[in-house]
Structures are given as structure tokens and as C-alpha cells.
Chains A and B, each alone.
Chain A
């Protein structure tokens, strides 16, 4: 397990200490630690089955760690769950779109659930991710990549301080992948932070402070 060193004088936005995770009686990782300041990106690497998704679900508060705590602004996320959820945007494996709903409906509903006012209008967010022409088409008629773009539009409109993205590049074309890189760079530029897993290389500008964390045995 390796983490590139970060400046200890800046208070971390998200930190974990001695985190352990078990799945089905098998230990996926233990003694995991990192501290991510605002305005930085943490890329989680590791082989298939190493526990990347499990880690992200623990960080989002969807699953509980076998040991250890996740601290957001130095407070346990379990204690301040509602507060934490209002600043977190989590994008899982599935985009979360329903066949019958349109990208416009999807983003609007998801924003209402998040209880954070949209910083950018839904229409503009859909334009940013290249779905302006498909805003009123059912998601079932759109491709996998376009469904993922609809979920990205929600990230764009919501602009919450912390993004947790599980494989944000999967299903996206080359233009979509550089769009994700741009969105993450903009997120960091605003002083936000992002945690993500990816198997494809993500072309972030060199100016973006990046940490890397590898879980499991190095392949």
C-alpha cells in the first residue's frame, strides 16, 4: 500500500486511518490510510477484486468498514451522515438512470434528492456533457455512454465539494474520457476534491495535485 506524501500542514478534506474491509469473510485490505486535502485528486488503483469498489462504497458511507473510520473535515462520516451526504456526490458502477426517464428528468430528480441547489442550470449541464440534443429522449433509447454522460451532467450541475467516482471512464468514448478529465480538473480548480478508480489512464493536467493509492498486492 503506497500513498504519495501530502502536505501535513493543510487539514485534510477526507482522511482514513487504519481502515480495514472484509467481504464474505475474506480480508480485502487492512491498515489503509490516506489523507486528501481539498483541491486534490486521489486515484485508487489495484487489480480486479482488490476492493476498489468496496473502498469507495465505504468512503461514501454505503458500506461499513471492518475496522477504522472515514473522517470528513476531521469528523466521522457516520456521526454526521446527513451533513456529509449533502456535500458528497457519488457515482457508482451504474449510472442510475431508468429506461423511461429522460436525462433532463434524471438530473432534476437527482438534484432534488441531493438537497443542494443546482449551481449550473440543468440545461447548461446537459450541454456541457454533450446531451443537449437528447435531453428529452428516454434513457432507454440512449447508449451506455450517453447514460453515463447524463449522470455526469448531475455532477456538473451540483458541483458539490467532494466527488467519489467509481470507474467514471467506463463506457465513454475518447471525447467523453477527456471530458471527465476536464470536469475533474475544474472540480479541483474550484477547491473541490475527487476520489476515483480507473483502469484507463486519465489525462489530468500536470497542475492538478494527484495522489495515488494502490490496494492489494502489486500485480
Chain B
């Protein structure tokens, strides 16, 4: 029995539990779809206007959709006592929280990434920018999940912490939003987006290392 067996057990349990409730799984995806669809209805249906707004619309919708499932990341475990099992595991808590975050990303972030090309076309983005839309979300959505886990861990002991969680996290999401949306906007305007994507990659590397540690510590404090 190794540390990785424990981390794998956490991941497998999350994925298995999610598969029992496919309806809940679809919620962030449907939210993403509906929010992106609502924007054109609220403005003039001009292709140029839509293409101008598209990077921001896609990214803000992805950000809010990620936020939707985050409150539940540790809440159910806290309520039924299985959080104590995580805290009392001899395996490093950072690794176990990483498993939880990975499960969250696989269940919400990855489906958003896969749906994004269709929505990008719907918003009138040129075909040449689809790759950047996907790549920026592929680098950006894990950052959202990782940062989100810190907020979810901090608010785990608070009843109805959803609004607080959003207030806590949205400012932290600003750099990711700016970089992601501007990468898409740059490519739409025929400019290179390498700089933004490299910076997103750097943010992701930092978050991968630091966020699980921080959320582990936050969980210990919040559940004391």
C-alpha cells in the first residue's frame, strides 16, 4: 500500500460517486452552454460585435461554470465525516487534495474545454483561433480548479458559503481571465499569443505545486 494507492483511491471514489449522479455532472456544462448562448440574445446579432466579445464571454462563462461545482468539492465530505478520513490518512494531505482537484477538473474543466470549439464557432470566432481557445482553456481551467480548492477548503465549515466562496475566488481568478481572454483576442486579431499562453503555463505550474499544499492546510484549520 503506497501513498499513490491512497491518492488513486480518492480519485477513483470521486469519479465513481460522480458517475452515480450524471445529472449533477451535466450542470456546469449546461451552465456554460446557456450563459454563452444568452450573450448574443442580449446584444445586436452582428458577427463583428460577437467576435469582439467572444473571448471575454467564453472565459467568464468558463470561470463561472467552474465556480459552480467548487462549493461541493469538500462540503459533502465534511458533512458525512469522510473528510476526517482524508485528514487522518498517513498519506500527505496535499497529494489527496490534489486527487480531489484532479477529479473536479476531469469532471468540469475538461468537458468545458471539449465543448469550447463549438461555442467559439457559434460566437463567430475565426477557425484559426479555435486552437488557441482550446489551448488557453486547457491551461487555464486547471488553474481555476486549483485556486478554487483553496477557497473551498477555507469555507468548508461555513453553512451556505457559496457566495463567500465566489467573493473570495473571483479576484484571484483575474490574472487567469486576463491572460486567457487576451490570448484568444490576440489570435482573433492575427497576432501571436505565445506570451499569454506561456504565462498561463507558468501560473499553472505554480498553482500545481502550491495550491494542494495550501488547501490541505486550509482543510486542517477549517475542520479543527
Q: Which A residues lie at the B interface, using CB under 8 A?
A: 60-64, 82-83, 85-86, 88, 90, 92-98, 100-101, 105, 108-110, 112-117, 138
Contact = CB atoms under 8 A, between A and B. Distances in A.
Interface stretch (B31-39, B76-84, B156-164): B76-84
A113 B10 contact: yes
A100 B13 CA distance: 10
B92 to A, nearest CB: 8
Contacts of B223: 62
Interface residues of B, number: 30
Contacts of A112: 1, 5-6, 8-9
A115 B2 contact: yes
Contacts of B80: 94-98
Contacts of B85: 96, 110, 113
Contacts, number: 78
A57 to B, nearest CB: 8
Interface string B1-37: 1110110111011001100110000000000000000
A25 B81 CA distance: 25
B90 interface: yes
B17 A86 contact: no
A64 B224 CA distance: 8
A115 B91 contact: yes
Nearest 4 A-B pairs (CB), nearest first? Answer: A94-B81, A112-B9, A96-B81, A86-B90
B102 to A, nearest CB: 16
Contacts of B12: 109
A82 B90 contact: yes
Contacts of B20: 100, 138
Given A93-B81, A115-B5, A62 B224 contact: yes
Given A62-B224, A96-B82, A100-B17, A115 B1 contact: yes
Contacts of A62: 84, 87-88, 223-224
A108 B21 CA distance: 21
B89 interface: yes
